[in-house]
Every structure is written in structure tokens, then in C-alpha cells.
Structure 1
Amino acid sequence: MSSLEPPPWVTEDQGFADYLNQGTAQLPKKPITLYPWPDLQAMERRKYLIKGLLEQGGMSVVYGESNSGKTFFALDIAAHMSLGWSWQDRKTRKGKVIYIAAESGLGIAERLIAFRNHHKLERYGELYLALRTILLVGENNDCDQLIEKIKETEDVELVVVDTLARAMGGGNENSSEDMGFFIRCCDKIREETGAHVMVIHHSGKDSSRGARGHSSLRAAIDTEIEVSQDSGVITAQVLKQRDGKLGDQFSFELTPIEIGEDEDGEPITSCVLSPCLIAPKEKKLSGQKRRALDILRNCIIDKGEKRQVRKEMPMVDCVTLSEYRDYLKREKISSSDKPDSENKAITRAIDQLNNAGITCSYTDYIWIVDRKDKSGQTNPG
């Protein structure tokens, strides 16, 4: 423990050991209860927040690059839930929503006005904005105050934290201690209020590596959704689903909506999400290719490392073919349980991605081709 450096907000008097053991973001101790197998049948089943996507009382991360549309995506979910509307033809659990708009709070308000105008709402959903940073890391965090406010509001089903960076204040996203503190705060919110916590987050410098920051965040969440934008189409894709189906994809376009006039009498506009059938970049991918690519992305996020596979090539984020084959086998890319048929299906899936120029493999490694860098388009040698 002594080898770890304390975060900047830990005073010399407090000491790092006291910081780690403090109860500010600790869940209350509960007795250990063991349930025999026969009793499990009568236990309450998990309930959905959005059927097949988000669990009631769970935790999710929606991440993407700047201006990818991740806030539009989260706000669209929040607005639909607060109104009790289905979302993308999926049932939702109607409930109050608290949206912590720590980044561009007034911009969020304008987007909600655009949503109201676009849908010609005669009633408002029970959605509440917090227009300031709410810290969920550090000695002076706002975790308990936020929980108190959620309880006062009553029947809150969803809390959106936009963004993780703002909620961490001066904390370090790459630090296991700081990220662990943030996760404990989110767990405490969920435990004491029953609300689902959705965290809006940024991609790292290399988007193929997933959300930036310490890997403990991905391990802690139930659902991870990547949001990207290409040629004006916003695509949200499920990359992690602890107890559900991977690979679900939703595509949208931004529709400009007039929301008023400025002081010069000129129109003020914002946007709403409008569903579209499919993102242009995905048209060439069959269902099986798409699934194999999703599995490779998850494999790279979990086990990838940056390597220069050949001297004449740039560094790439890659995994070994053995690691990727293990993931394909675990995710049952083959419908057959026979080892020979399974191995053939796995080899076929890898070959299809390589032949389509989506991935590249050489010696023992495989990686996803960077469309901006044509040097990896063709399989070497």
C-alpha cells in the first residue's frame, strides 16, 4: 500500500490508508446470506429499464469520440423513458430521470426544447437537469448529497452522469484508486436508490481500444455502448452485455429543429435524433461478419497490445490469432458442437474479415484495419 501515491486531495494529516478505508463512498456492510439452489427459483427476476438493452438498477457506459453524438443518444433514451415511450421499438420502464449535465448544460436544455417541438409534446416527461458538476471522486465528493436528492425526487429510474471526466474533477481516469472510488460511488447510488447509472465517457486516443481510463470501469459495468459518427450517420453499438446479447446496433441521423430566435431575430436551432435504417459503413457486412468483428473488437479491448507486426508497417492494436479464436469459440460463432465443424467455422469467419479488408493478419497476430491508413489494407506476404 505504501508504494501507491495518494491522490492530490488527500491531506498529509489524513494519510492514504485512511483515504482508502474512509466510508464516504463505501457501501454499507451487509450480512452474508447463502441461498440454496432450490430457493433460487422463487427469487425475483431481473427487470429491464429498456428491454434487451438496459437493466433496472444496473450500470452502463456510453462512450465515443468528441462530437460523435453520445450525448444526443443518452438524452434520447432519457426523454423517452421519462415519457414512458418505447425506444427503438423496445419497451421501456417509465420513471423519473436525473440528467447531470456537467458539460454544456444549457446546450442540453436546448436539445430538450428541440425534442419537445419535434414531437409536439402536450405533456412533459419527468426529467430533471442538474446544471453543475457533481463530483463522484475525492474527499469532498457529492455522492451522499446526490443520493439524498434522488430520494427526495422519488421513483428515479435513471441517473445520467455526463461526463465521467467532469464527475472525477481532478481525479486520474487511469488510476485504479480514482476509478475505483468513482465505481464505488456509482454502486452506492444504485444500492441506495435502485436507479440505473449511465455514465457518458470519451474514447481514448485510439478509439479501437475502447473507452479511455482504467480497465476496472469496463469490468464493473453491465452494458457498454460505443457511439460513432460516419458520413452524418450516428451509430450506437452494444460492445458489452453482461447477461444479454452482444452486437445490437442502432443508427440515427441528426434532424435540425428551430427552437426560437436570438436577440437579432435570427433562428436558434438544435437537433434531435431520427432513426435511420443502417449506417453506410455497415452495409457490406453480413450478420456473421458483423458478429465476428464485434467479437474481435472486444478481444482487442480486453487483451490487445500495440505492436509493430512488420518493420514497414505502423504500430497496430492487435491480439494473437489464438486469443481471437478462443473468443470466437466462447461466443459460439459456430452453431455446431463438433470440434472439426467449429474449427472450420472459426477459420471461415477470420478469412471472411481478412478478405473483405476489414481485418489483417500476419504470422500470429490479427488487427482491425484503420480506414484512414491504407498501409494495413492488404494481408502482408
Structure 2
Amino acid sequence: MTDFSRPGDTGNIVPFDRRDVAEGYRTKERPPLKLLSYSEMEAMPEPEWLIEGVIQKQSTALAFGKSNSFKSFIAADLGCSVSVGQPWHGNAVAPGRVIFVATEGANGFGRLRIPTWFDYHDVPRDRRNNVFLYPKEIRLDVKDDVLALVSTMKILGPFALVVLDIFGGTMAGSEVEDKTARAWVHGIQFILRETGASVLTVAHTGWQDDTRARMHTHFWGSFDSRLRVEGNKAAMTATLTVERHKDADSSGQWGFRMERAGESLVPILDSDVKPSKSRNLSVKQNTALDALDDALQAHGVRKQGTEWPPCNVVLMEHWRQAAYRHGIADSENAEARKKAFQRIREVLQDKGIIRIYCDHVWRCFANSNNGN
């Protein structure tokens, strides 16, 4: 696993001393870093949209939802729209080549889902040449796999979008390991820099929490945009909600009914389909949940007995200390931090997001009226 941020760097941390500074850092192999002046900062361009309001150009986006929430169909809808430059349900699209990396179900994806979308939208065959499929797993935390993907994209020409479906099949390591997460994120950033394409990753929500994707917090925090998908399999409906854009207004909701077409499904915009009521967590409350994830990873244990859940739990004190490290309180005063943690804990418990028993805490299995 390689850190792509500096090609050729082994990633080893070497201690510096004053001689390094005195002798100078510049060598032929390591030219000085390019720093932007104030005027260059002012002249930096505004972010451009690949799909207006949904995915920006040369950015990373995450579409996450429960199993059977129709998120792969929505990802196909987004990607195919880009490949033909067709507005996505009224939102302007910048056209370009698209790669779908189907790490599971590639046959159905390539043979049914994509052709059905083109047929439904009456796209002529001569306009279907900008979409490509890689029907295998690809490990974006492995240097050779990333370089192979980038080389292929450069040979075939400029690409606008890479769709990774599904997240769990895009790494050699575990999705909950810090080492895997950091290598994967560096791999994605390398793809963005070298190809100029955006990357849309499709992921499942957590086993115990449908408010976020099942992944290490370093993955979760790395995406420029996060898009929540909720589906109702019985009603054949789905919604897409923008949860966050780092560099744009974080708003936007779309409701769809899933229309059968041939042997597949196509999302059709339907204003009557609404997302479930959001939990409306504050930044500090979400920070506390991230801290709980870290505490569960570092100190979580499985308890035996009917009163304990079928998942890891962690001591309240481990969570509290992790929350302090994450900065849940604006004050360094011990009493103020304690009160801030107490307030957040009570809110999360009242909302049913966490449970507490015998001075241990865990994430709840979330209940949703719109998922499956």
C-alpha cells in the first residue's frame, strides 16, 4: 500500500534536525514545493459542476444507502447521463466518458442495466460509445491497480467520471482499517490529479446505523460530496439527498419511482416521493458519533448475555475521551467539556442512535420507514 501524495516516497517518517534546515532541503530529486501567492489564491477558479448540484468536476462523491435502496440504479442514471451529456432530471450535465467499475454483479450491470437505460431514453447506438465497464474488483489501496486504471484512462482519452460500485470491492485491506483508508484515499486523489475525472463511490450503510456509510472515519471524511439514498422496495421508490458539499451549498433532494423497463429498472423523477424525516444532527453531534466509531474500533468488545446487543460495545469513558480529542466542546474547561458531552449523549440517546447499559455504549440498529 502506497502513499500517492508524493510519487517515489516510501512513506517512512524520518526525524529532522537543524542540519537539514541549514543544508537546505532542495535537491534535483525534490524541487521546492509550489506555494500560491495571495494574487494566485484570489485567481483560483470557482468549482464547476459535472452534474449541477450533485457532483462537481474533479471531485469525490459518495452515494450511500441500505441494501435494496436502488442506489446502484441511481448511480447508473447519473453516470449514463454524463456519458451522453443529457440533463439529469433537469440538472445541467457536462458530457464526457464514464467508467463503471462493477465489483459485483458486473454481468447484470453491463448486459442489462446500462443498455436498458439507453433504450428507455431512446439514445441512438452511435451515442453510446462514451460508457465503459470494468467487470472486476479493483484495489485502490494498491499502487499497481491505481496505476493500471490511470494508464488505461489516459490511453482511451479524457474521462469525466469513474463510478465505483460497490465500495467494499475496491480495496485489498479492510474497510475499517486506518492503513487501508489512508492508502485508498491517496489512490483516489492520485486518480483525480492525473486524469481530471470525478469519482462516485457507491457504499452500504453501517450494520447498526443508517446515517452513514459502513467505513472507517478517514474514508467518511474524505469525500467532497455525500449523497444519501433511501429506498422503499415494496413501493418501488427511492430518494437522493445531498447531505454535504464541501465547497457548495449542501442542499438538494430528488424523489424517484423505479419504472420497470425490459429486465431492469430506470429511475423516473416523482415529486410525490419524499425522503424520510432527517435526524438533523448538529456538527458536534456528528463529531461525537465519529468519536464513538473510533472508540469502538480501538476498545470495542463483544458482551455475552441477552441484555447485550449482537455487536461491539465500549466503555463510556473511552467514548468520552475520544470525543474530547475530536473537539466536541469549544472550551478547554473540564467542566464545560463534561457538560457538552452530557448534552450530546442525551440527544443521541433520545433520538435512538445510541444505547447505554451498565456504563457501556453502542450504536443502535436504526429504524427507517423508507429502507430495506
Q: TM-score, normalised by structure 1?
A: 0.67
Helix, strand or coil: the match of 2:138? coil
1:50–1:92 Cα contact (<8 Å) kept: yes
Provide the residue aligned with 2:54 in structure 1: 53
Give the distance between the partners of 2:95 and 2:222, measured in 1 at CA: 25
Give the deviation of 1:301 after TM superposition: 4.6
Letter of the 2:159 counterpart: V
Provide the residue aligned with 1:249 in structure 2: 253
Q: 2:236 aligns with which of 228, 232, 236?
A: 232
1:208–1:301 Cα contact (<8 Å) kept: no
Give the deviation of 1:164 after TM superposition: 2.0
Q: 2:271 aligns with which of 262, 268, 277?
A: 277
Provide the residue aligned with 1:184 in structure 2: 186
Give the distance between the partners of 2:224 and 2:368, measured in 1 at CA: 32
Provide the residue aligned with 2:219 in structure 1: 217
CA RMSD of aligned residues (A): 4.0
2:206–2:212 Cα contact (<8 Å) kept: yes
2:139–2:171 Cα contact (<8 Å) kept: yes
Give the distance between the partners of 2:205 and 2:353, measured in 1 at CA: 23
Give the distance between the partners of 2:106 and 2:354, measured in 1 at CA: 45
Change (3 A) 1:218 1:278: farther
1:239–1:298 Cα contact (<8 Å) kept: no
2:154–2:195 Cα contact (<8 Å) kept: yes
Give the deviation of 1:157 after TM superposition: 0.6
Cα deviation digits, residues 237-279 of structure 1 (max 9, x gap): 2222111222422221211112xxxxxxxxxx11111111143
2:256–2:269 Cα contact (<8 Å) kept: yes
Give the deviation of 1:42 after TM superposition: 2.7
Change (3 A) 1:103 1:31: farther
Matches within 5 A, 1:132-171: 132-138=136-142, 141-169=144-172, 171=173
2:181–2:218 Cα contact (<8 Å) kept: yes
Q: TM-score, normalised by structure 2?
A: 0.68
Helix, strand or coil: the match of 1:150? helix
Give the distance between the partners of 2:212 and 2:354, measured in 1 at CA: 20
Tell me whether 1:94 sits opposite 2:88 in the alignment.
no
Letter of the 1:105 counterpart: A
Change (3 A) 1:202 1:122: same
Change (3 A) 1:85 1:372: closer
Percent of aligned pairs with the same amino acid: 23
Change (3 A) 1:19 1:168: farther
Give the distance between the partners of 1:252 and 1:301, measured in 2 at CA: 30
1:208–1:297 Cα contact (<8 Å) kept: no
2:165–2:201 Cα contact (<8 Å) kept: yes
> How many residues are treated as equivalent by the alignment?
302
